[in-house]
Amino acid sequence: MVKLIKFFAYFTFFIISLIYFTPKISTYYFLESYIKKHGIIISDEECSDTGYGLKIKHPTLSIKSIDGAKAKEIDINIFALYNKININDIYLSSMASSFMPLKVENAKLVYSIVDPLNVNGMAYGEFGEVNAKFDLTKMALTVKLAPSKLMLKKYKNTLRKFKKTKKGEYIYEKNI
């Protein structure tokens, strides 16, 4: 029994040390160069290693040379059993103004060992609240939107792509 406890203690210490000493900024720039091949460019960012996570300030996202969005801050926490990306104060490009409001106050992506087959996302902003789920086995995206009054008033064409439930939520489903 003592050997088993020592094993788990050493294993836990090893995992915590591995997470802490991983070169997060170098890994980030490697992944950034990988997505650049697909036309997705993140620029003007300031990266800092927080020990168990990565903080990115003021990134600008461009897709195929078209400005997509700017964010105030992104916090990335990658642990073995629970991974989270939290994005604050997102401003979408003015090109998106015809189909949705441009300000997203907060967005969060979570992948956990508790639900290993799904990546869950939550966001809220001028559009209302969104809960999203991406099923990794079926490659299916499900988005539930609780729209704001602004979204219901000005962006009816966008809401037509969603199915309305009896609860007043709007659901969008897509297989990728």
- pLDDT (tens digit per residue) in 9-64: 999 899 889 888 989 999 899 999 999 998 999 999 999 999 889 999 999 999 88
State the pTM of this model: 0.86
CA distance 48 to 58: 12
Report the run of H or E that residue 133 belongs to, with start and end: strand 128-135
- Which position has the token pair 């967005």? 107
CB 19 within 8 A of CB 53: no
CB 145 within 8 A of CB 129: yes
* Domain edges within the chain: 1-78, 108-176
